[in-house]
């Protein structure tokens, strides 16, 4: 297990080299629309740098 977790769903933003760009997100920590939306936007911002 690459990320040492068995949480589902578990989301990870990776760059083109397979490197993690921001912290991973799971339902427990990012279960609200606002938190998950913020996480998505931060991941996209990092990806587009």
Residue 11 per-residue DSSP state = E
pLDDT at site 38: 98
Q: Two tokens at 23?
A: 């912290």
1-49 pLDDT per residue, tens: 677 777 788 999 999 999 999 999 999 999 999 999 999 999 999 999 8
- The model's pTM is 0.80
20: left (phi over 0), alpha (psi -120 to 50) or beta: beta
Task: Give 1-49 as a 3 state SS string.
Answer: CCCCCCCCCEECCECCCCCECCCCEEHHHHCCHHHHHHHHHHHHHHHCC
């Amino acid at each position: 297990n690459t990320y040492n977790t068995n949480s589902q769903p578990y989301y990870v933003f990776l760059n083109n080299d397979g490197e993690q760009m921001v912290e991973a997100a799971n339902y427990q920590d990012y279960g609200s629309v606002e938190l998950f939306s913020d996480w998505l936007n931060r991941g996209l911002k990092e990806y587009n740098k």
